[in-house]
Structure 1
Amino acid sequence: MSMFKPSMLTLALVAAGVSSQSVYAAEEQAAQDDKKTAEVEVIEVKGFRASVVESINTKRFSAEVVESISAEDIGKLPDSSIAESIARLPGLTAQRLDGRASRVTVRGFGENESATTFNGREQVSISDNRGVEFDLYPSEIMSAVTVYKTPSASLEAEGIAGVINMQTVKPLSVAERVMQVNGQYEKTSFDKLNPDGNDDGFRGTFSYIDKFADDTIGVAFAYTTMTSPNQEKRWNAWGYPEFEVDGKQFSILGGAKPFVRSSTLERDSAMLVVQAAPSDKLDMTFDALYVDFKDEKILRGIEIPFAWGQGSIDGQYATVDPETGFVTSALTQGQRVVVRNDYEDRKADLTSFGFNAKYNLDDSWTLEFDASHSSVEREIWSLESYSGTGRGDARGVADSIGYAFTGSNTGAKFSHQLDYGDYDLIKIGGPLSWGWSSALNEKYGVVGTEYENQLQDGFINAPTIDDELNALKLAAKKVVESSFLSSVEFGLSYRDREKTKKSEGYFMTYGDFSYPNNPGVFSVPEQYRLGTANLDFIGMGNMIAYDSRAMVADGMYGLLAESLTNTSHATKSWTVGEEVTALFVQANIDAEIAGMPLKGNAGLRYVKTTQISDGNAFGTVDGKVVLSPTHVEHDYSHLLPSLNLSLALDDSQTLRFGVAKTISRPRLDEMNASVSATYNQTPDENGNYWKVEGGNPNLEPKEATGVDLSYENYFSAEGYFSAALFYKDLNEWIFDGNYTVDMSGVADPATGQIPANSTGSASGKVNGGGGDLWGYELSLALPFNMLHSSLEGFGLLASYTKVKSDIVDQKGNDYELPGLSDTIQSLTFYYENHGLQLRTSMRKRSDFKGDVYGLGFNTVQVDILGETIWDAQAGFDFADAGIESLAGLSVSFQVQNITEEPFTALSGTNALQVRDYQDYGRTYMLGFSYKF
């Protein structure tokens, strides 16, 4: 039973061609009211304004609290990156990774607390954990993205923050055949920072949509290719050690690793959708996505030890900030540095496909079947090549190096005496004693000699990820005759996911090294020399630049696995599997209260999870790593009720209420079964014989009960105002702690025997603690023609979000959620009329804790400063301008990061103690689109 009465505004939206599924019910009602429809003047908007209307209607007619972005045509989302588009939605923002928006935060929760789906199906990720890096997904093939801030029982994914659903086009819903070509030239504002880097690139898309067999079969295909450059000037600090003099506390720069980076993101993607509706009863859709992703980085810089180096610091040259005790400038004499020529390749292949069939058994029953597969294979090959004036700590020419912080948070500039661009002075060989490996010393026969632990001339990190998820779903929907309900739906789903990480590293030693015949440093062969890279931005001038990647490929280095003697790779190698069985029932509400339509849903979702973790218990014997396999199974279940209500106060005003219990599963690297293990013959104070450190396979999900209340006023086809309050009661969060572990069946690494006593005292992640998170959101879409007809085409999109939290760990200590910014703001001004399209956008967030890659690609949490990023786009559509000879052609020009906003992370509370300062410059894009 439908009591919805479409207003004049609603009918106008329908007449404008709004195609959101949420509006279908309104379309059916409008078709039955020919008289009203005839009275409405058709409002025709195109381009960006059409996508605004579509997004507003998805929000307006959804049963849940959602935000949405929509593309006017395939390949025409409002931004060049899907993550940038998502990051401008109310309550959402993104963390940049190598200058690109990648990890999305929803209402203060990081990427691991939200689920990502593709056409409603949960997706795997190329990261070590659950959080999706959105720069993997090309925006060119997406037709829309919907963010569910409140869940319903029928959603096939779980996340405390919400669910982000990316959608492809349904070809049978497209009115006519579409064949389109898009192209875009891209250039960075920095000239090449590395002689073998790129400062320009290109992306292109071909898309085709058509219908056949009397519109019963539809096909959509899109292929996109991209070569996108990115460049960075980066200051990076080792840390800031503290010391005491005469009872006063001081801190100083421990060392720095600044560099220039040139990277190229290459991505080839193919999308296919085949939809068949042979009768009114049956609708079948097959969709497939393949992404070949490669991110190649060239990094050159000079690693500069300071307080943690070998030089002596003369106090008479030091300057100290009297308020903080921070040494803002100093000079070290007798210092040796490491000249770095590094490369990194990050490769990933993503395959995703699914089949969905809906069958109308009769007028009241609809059956649904869905099957899907999602998998990704990721490889990282990160190469470090070291050179200097001599091998080891005390050989070669030393330098006098000074530093001075400028008073801002941009890092320090250095002074130096040596010429690091001189190939006769700077040669291949590790200038500091790194690589303390007994196996490496034995290989080259330097045990007990002056070259012991001085053979690391470089290093290769080579972790891999395999992630696979298969899913099945059976569901049914029954239309009911009721004054309160419109239908009831229920179903069963099953997901099977397995993620495997393998960690490995390799010591590099230059091939000409031999002891005692040839133990020194070596000139860079002429064929690998590339000139110099300029480091003036940190005051270090030019440094030698050579192709270390080609040298490794040509066998110029000897390699030795680090895992032979270093236990960290065993810690970081694991397999985690999850089998998730879910049952749901949901009643869809369609009622009337005091003459006002009430819509929504009430549901219950039961989720049972069986977790399987495989890894290694390991120790060292005579300096060598010894492994023993581990296998742990654990299961848990949850009941997740949800309620969404939408009360139409009148034709334009809506009051929403949502309440639900939600879960977020633990990070995969925290729940693995790889541990360092030591067996003791006598028990500890807890009566346990094993001492264990590492993952905790018995972790259970974080839980939250959330409440949402919002007011929405849709005052025009292109305009609305919304004010929302939200609150989440968090419990069973995850913190560092101690627990008891069962080591049954695990052999003692020292003896190879399985001990009789199997209990262990473990340290790692544990469930506990909790607290509250609350906030509010204000959002506005304002077409300026409401103010005056002369402003037709002008408009504004704006949002402001305030978030607060009060969370403690299991010991009562305060805790700050990663990804939480106190304030999030977005702003877009646009003009679109007579073919001319102008748009400028801003997204702003306050300080937050974020995850970055540390040593060995470990995930490290750092304090990141807030940022304000401005982008702009101008375009011209010749058909909309009335130029028929060029109909189908449109051109555009974009500038990203107009104000050159840096990425800045601190070490501690002192603004001068910068951990990272990354300057990406601007990016320019010139593009065209032609629709045949």
Structure 2
Amino acid sequence: MAHAQNADVPTPAPAAQTTTLDQVQVTGIRATIQTSIDKKRDETVVSDVLAADDIGDLPALSIGEAIETITGASTHREKGGASEISIRGLGPFLGSSTFNGREATNGSGDRSVNFNQFPSELINTVSIYKTQRADFVEGGVAGTINMETVKPLAYGKRNIQLEGRGTWQAYDDRLKDNNGVGWRGTASYIDQFDMGGAGKLGISIGLQGLEGSNPEEMFSSSSTWVACDGREVVGATRNCTQVDGNDVAGGVPYYLAPGSRIYRQFVEHDKRDSQFAALQWRPNDAVEVNLDYQHSKRDYSEDRSDLSLSSMMRNINNRLVSDTGALLHHTGSTSIDSTSNFLERDEEYSGGGLNVIFRPGPAWMFSTDLSYSNTLRNQYERSTRLRAGRTDIHGNPVAGVKNNRYVDYTYDSIGDVPSIHLDPAFDVNNWDNFTDSALVRRRQQTREHTIRAGRFDVAFTPESGFFTAIKGGLRRSEATYTDFDNTVELSTTNAGAIRAANLACRQQFPQDDFLDNASGNTIDRWASFDSRCLFRAFTGVDDTGPSDDLRDPANNDVTEKTSALYVMGEYSSEWFGLPVTGNFGVRWVRTDVRSVGLRSDLDVIDNPDGTITLQPTGDFTSQVLKSAGHEWLPSFNAAFELRPDLLLRVGAYRAMSRPDLAAEGYGRSFNLQDVDTEFNSISDALRSINATGNPRAEPLMSWNGDVSLEWYANDDTLLSGALYYKQFNGGSMPVVVDETFIIDGRTVVVPVQQLATSDQTSDLFGVEFTASHSLSYLPGIFSGLGVKVSYNYADSNFETEDLRLGASTDPISGVVTPGIVEPANIFGLSKHVASAQLYWALGALDLQAIYKYRSDYYQQFVGDPAQNRYVRDTGSLDARATYKVNRNLSLSLSASNLTDEPRVSDMPILGSFREYTTYGRRYYLGLRYRF
């Protein structure tokens, strides 16, 4: 297929002449965009590509932020950086991510890739395939993201590169730990060797280390919300009365309330090390061997100080409620806790593979690929709590605390965060007041995700005819996921022990100006304690270690085996008088799931105030659930050459997205022993039994169609527009499954809610637009200006019911309990996603500004199923300047989140405030040297 040539690039003079004309060498961001345009054009499916000729030239600070600049891609921001990727407004579970064409593991229990573990300096191509091909790894309803490292022989030259960056987080100025400056260092080496009779050998090695901090400030709420009876006056000594969907359908008014509100201050430290290596060997023209290996290790710590208003559902009166049930104003009573938490997480990733290609002749190619990917995450938390008591450490009454150990408050939902006014008689900054219900908790969590996979492919190239290639192959993979939780919990009401620990472990509030940028905030500091000091004071040791019995009914043990076969034909022909190329084929996929869970017997404990708690007896039984299914995934792609510079692409395919591995767990979690989880009755207590997953959940299937028109006016100019449609055969909704538990020695049938794939059909329509252009024809310095803009619009009638407050179905009887709150749309769907890049090449200086916008979306929790959470509209501005001192040395200055954009979320409906998180601006000063 012919490529339009840039008329501004002069042609080399004939060899017979003694002089040659200088060629225009395009470098920097403009060169990266040119390479990306060229690769997009050459792809056989509807796609968008971000590519650089040299490693380290991707115009972004991380892989996640690089992907954000690709049309239709958006990210969910955690710790101030880009994490989960949504394609065309569809959440990460509807897409698939691969590294060098293979599935990769992570420590979160979902199917997305942890992009932070792959250094952007060692990646040179990121592709998003928006239509499917039969030989792709299954899983891309939204699309497939593939990251690629450089192939050393294809790279074709020696490169030794050293790069260092210093980082500074603006919010670190508020902290009192003096850890504001971080660093990131990268080294890479690529080379090729002619080994004579042994062929050619290429090697690539990359190393990276980094260390820094991630300052955050947060106002949050619990992840469990209930619907309360709007008719009642709530007594001062009890929680509101909950209502269900049948009550609301019968006309009972309601309001939505969380269990707690939390002010959270962080001091964090992050350290990572990565090593990449690749070997490419061609002993002759018939054989090629590729071997690659990746390893990364992350050590992360978080020292957290919380002020927890831990029982916000008591005494809720004087209510102002919106039409949708959101609490806008109310009074109430709550216990008040100063909670300290020290978390340590180490996460290690190892992956790699062996790929062998054999070409016995020009018509045949055989390829085999064996791969391994493993992520092991260990997390240890030591948390302590001191609650405001009726008397202080000297035995004097605490002003503002009532006999039931609760403090009155007034809540107003105004400003960026709600205004909470505690009884002015209570001093939240006085350490003396926190003398009650001391709690020490050690929690250990281990997650391990492993994928072992192998595939075999064969391709036949006919000498002539309609088909240019006929391909087929098979793939087999086994994914295992285990999570392990162990909690050791000690509590005491011993006044002497609490007094001694309180006096010994006080600390000054760790930062200044807490949430000072958030309008409405009323609490900017509180009495805080050293978490490790308190832990030692109450236990006598730095770490108690795990409990003697490591069994836990919340643990998951999932094995998923996948078998796939495909056949595909690639063709080149003429249809309707137009040259056309493309492919069509079908993929067959079988999935087998085996999930193991424990069930715990429970005792009912009667509390003095008339409430109850559930307590495990220590007796467990193991249960295994198996499920299986298979699907056919046909696909068709065609690219019509309307003109040498104008392409019309069409694609139609069926795709599948499996539930996350963690969502296929068979564990059950219980809110049991904490004082804050007292229940009014056994029926209320049984509502606390949650399913960690559902092994029976079926994949989400969809039929998809795409039409894309792409104009390649010249090397610098791309205009493209696409229309796409998806019909989903299934949706996510709660079902109520009767399960048996032993409670107080009796077998009790408990209705347990869990998420399942429904039979509903829903649609999604979308349009996307991309424009990229260099203004090289402008005079003087303005000739270096260029722009790239992209926009995606998507709308769907997909419904995701809230796990607790949405409509639910009994799968046996078919009885539907109506929902209280409106369902969310599909995970990750933002109606509007846009990005704009402005770059300016001024000789050796490259300037770039990137603005990214995403409208509100439903953000699913990773791990245990939880209620619907919505993230509000967000937009952020990043900037980058690079100065090339000479052919070897370059300097860079980058900044992210210049707009100081917070992340704000609601739950379980939009307008019902849940969380405000702010990160501040970040700056990076870098130096790169190439040999």
Q: Structure 2-normalised TM-score?
A: 0.82
The answer on whether the counterparts of 1:255 and 1:309 sit within 8 Å (CA) in structure 2 is no
Distance in 2 (alpha carbons) for counterparts of 1:666 and 1:899: 36
CA distance in 1, matches of 2:567, 2:256: 60
Find the aligned partners of 2:451 and 2:255 in 1 and give their Cα distance: 52
Distance 1:582 1:248, change over 3 A: closer
Q: Kindly indicate whether residue 526 of structure 2 is the aligned counterpart of residue 543 of structure 1.
A: yes
Indicate yes or no: 2:651 matched with 1:652.
Answer: no
Where in structure 2 are the equivalents of 1:598-637 lying within 5 Å? 598-621=580-603, 623=615, 624-637=617-630
On the 8 A contact 1:891/1:928 being kept in 2, the answer is yes
Distance 2:845 2:871 in 1: 38
2:153 corresponds in structure 1 to 172
String of CA shifts for 1:480-536, please: whole Å, max 9, x gaps: 1233211111111111111111122232447xx75xx84644344657746654447
Farther off after superposition, 55-64 or 457-466:
457-466
1:336: how far off? 5.0
Structure 1: distance between partners of 2:63 and 2:37 = 18
Distance 1:794 1:255, change over 3 A: same
Question: Residues of 2 paired with 1:876 and 1:889: CA distance?
Answer: 9
Alignment partner of 1:902 is 2:892: no
For 2:851, the aligned partner's letter is M
Residues of 2 paired with 1:778 and 1:488: CA distance? 33
Q: 1:663 — aligned with what?
A: 656
Aligned mate of 1:492, from 462, 474, 487: 474
1:698-717 map, 5 Å? 698-717=696-715
Q: CA deviation at 1:288?
A: 0.6
Among residues 62, 65, 81, which one is paired with 1:100 in the alignment?
Answer: 81
User: Counterpart of 1:8 in structure 2: which amino acid?
Assistant: Q
Letter in 2 for 1:129: D
Partners in 2 of 1:95 and 1:649 — Cα distance?
38
State the one-letter code of the partner of 1:731: N
Q: Is the 8 A contact 1:798 1:826 kept in 2?
A: yes
Supply the distance in 2 between the matched residues of 1:401 and 1:124 (Cα, whole angstroms). Answer: 48
- Deviation string 1:44-95 (CA, Å, 9 cap, x unpaired) is 2112222111111121110011111123422332111111111221111011
Q: For residues 425-463 of structure 1, what are the alpha-carbon distances to aligned partners after superposition, in whole Å with 9 as ceiling and x for unaligned? A: 155x5x3xxxxxxxxxxxxxxxxxxxxxx4x52333322
Structure 2: segments with no counterpart, 5+ residues: 234-251, 401-406, 605-614, 671-688, 801-808, 810-815
2:880 alignment partner in structure 1: 873
The letter for the 2-side match of 1:618 is S
Alpha-carbon distance, 1:293 to partner: 1.5
Q: Does 1:579 align with 2:578?
A: no
State the 1:342 CA deviation: 1.9
Separation in 2, partners of 1:136, 1:99: 16
Q: 1:796-875 alignment to 2 at 5 Å?
A: 796-808=787-799, 816-852=825-861, 859-875=866-882
Counterpart AA for 1:780: A
Report if the CA contact (8 A) 1:863-1:907 is conserved. Answer: yes
Does residue 1:265 correspond to 2:249, yes or no?
A: no
Instruction: Provide the C-alpha distance between the structure 2 equivalents of 1:704 and 1:472, rounded to a whole number of angstroms.
Output: 26
Amino acid at match of 1:767: T
- Equivalence for 2:200: 216
* Alignment-mate amino acid for residue 159 of structure 1: G
CA distance in 1, matches of 2:580, 2:738: 51
1:589 equivalent in structure 2:
571
Matched letter for residue 269 of structure 1: S
Spell out, residue by residue over 1:631-683, the C-alpha distance to the aligned partner (whole angstroms, 9 max, x if none): 22222111111111111111110000000111111222332233589xxxxxx
Cα RMSD after superposing both structures: 3.9
How far off its partner does 1:5 sit? 3.9
Residue aligned with 2:172, SS: coil
* Structure 2 residue aligned with 1:28: none
The 3-state SS of whatever aligns with 1:487 is strand
Gap change, CA 1:34 and 1:282, over 3 Å in 2: farther
Using structure 1 for the length normalisation, give the TM-score: 0.82
For the residues of structure 2 that align with 1:365 and 1:251, how far apart are their CA atoms?
A: 65
**Structure 1 residue aligned with 2:489:** 507
- By how many angstroms is 1:551 displaced? 5.0
Query: CA offset at residue 294 of structure 1?
Result: 2.6
Say if 2:486 and 2:550, in contact at 8 Å, map to a contact too.
no
The 10-residue stretch of structure 1 (891-900 or 289-298) with the greater mean CA deviation from structure 2: 289-298
2-structure distance, mates of 1:142, 1:553 = 45
1:150 CA displacement: 0.7
Question: In the TM superposition, what whole-angstrom CA distance separates every residue of 1:673-725 from its partner, at most 9, and x where no partner exists?
Answer: 33589xxxxxxxxxxxxx99664322221100100001000111021011100
* Number of equivalenced pairs: 841
Aligned to 1:639, which of 632, 637, 659? 632
- CA separation of 1:6 and 1:420: change in aligned 2, threshold 3 A: closer
Decide which of 706, 716, 719 is 1:718's aligned counterpart: 716
2:762 to 749, 755, 771: 771
Q: 1:467 to 1:908 in 2, by over 3 A?
A: closer
Distance 2:536 2:276 in 1: 34
Q: 1:672 to 1:607 in 2, by over 3 A?
A: same
SS at match of 1:140: helix
Alignment check: 8 A CA contact 2:645 2:711 kept: yes
Matched, 1:381 2:380: yes
Matches of 1:459 and 1:79, distance apart in 2: 41
2:85 matches 1:86: no
Q: What amino acid is the match of 1:628?
A: T
Distance 1:904 1:108, change over 3 A: same
Question: Cα 1:242–1:150, aligned 2, differ >3 Å: closer, same or farther?
Answer: same
Does the 8 Å CA contact 2:138/2:656 hold for their aligned counterparts? Answer: no
User: Which amino acid in 2 is paired with 1:222?
Assistant: G
8 Å contact kept, 2:306–2:338: yes
Pair 1:54-2:47 in alignment: no
SS state of the match for residue 872, structure 1? strand
Query: Offset of 1:750 from its aligned partner?
Result: 8.0
| Contact 2:468–2:572, Cα closer than 8 Å, also in 1 | yes
Letter in 2 for 1:877: K
What is aligned with 1:466?
Answer: 448
Counterpart for residue 112 of structure 2: 131
Offset from partner CA, 1:21-54 (integer Å, 9 cap, x none): xxxxxxxxxxxx999xx99995521122221111
2:5 is equivalent to residue 8 of structure 1? yes
Matched letter for residue 302 of structure 1: L
> Which gives a bigger RCO, structure 1 or 2 (Cα 8 Å, sep 6+)?
2
CA distance, structure 1, for counterparts of residue 656 and residue 256 of structure 2: 42
The partner residue of 1:409 within 416, 436, 460 is 416
Partners in 2 of 1:601 and 1:588 — Cα distance?
A: 4
Measured in 2, the distance between the counterparts of 1:41 and 1:605 equals 51
Q: SS state of the match for residue 924, structure 1?
A: strand
Work out whether residues 193 and 261 of structure 1, in 8 Å CA contact, stay in contact via their aligned partners in 2. Answer: no
For residues 820-866 of structure 1, what are the alpha-carbon distances to aligned partners after superposition, in whole Å with 9 as ceiling and x for unaligned?
01111111101124111111101101111112479xx7655311101
Match of 2:891 in 1: 891
| Mapped contact 2:799–2:826 kept (Cα < 8 A) | no
Choose from 223, 231, 256 the match for 2:261.
256
The verdict on how the C-alpha distance between 1:818 and 1:521 changes in structure 2, with shifts beyond 3 A counting, is farther
For 1:349 and 1:421, locate their aligned partners in 2 and report how far apart those are by CA, in whole Å. Answer: 40
Query: Residue 128 of structure 1: SS of its match in structure 2?
Result: coil
Question: Which residue is equivalent to 1:281?
Answer: 286
Q: Secondary structure at the match of 1:792?
A: helix
Q: Are positions 1:785 and 2:792 aligned together?
A: no
One-letter identity of the residue aligned with 1:291: S
Residue 727 of structure 1, CA deviation: 0.5
CA deviations 1:206-245 (Å, max 9, x no partner) are 1111111258111111111112322122111356967448
CA distance in 2, matches of 1:325, 1:805: 24
Amino acid at match of 1:263: E
Aligned residue for 2:354, secondary structure, equals strand
Say which of 212, 217, 225 aligns to 2:209: 225
Between stretches 62-71 and 379-388, larger displacement belongs to 379-388
Structure 2: distance between partners of 1:89 and 1:698: 35
Residues 303-318 of structure 1 aligned to structure 2 (within 5 Å) = 303-304=308-309, 307-308=312-313
Contact 2:595 2:666 in 1 (8 A): yes
| TM-superposition CA deviations, 1:893-914 (whole Å, max 9, x none) | 1111111111001235574x42
- Per-residue deviation, 1:870: 0.8
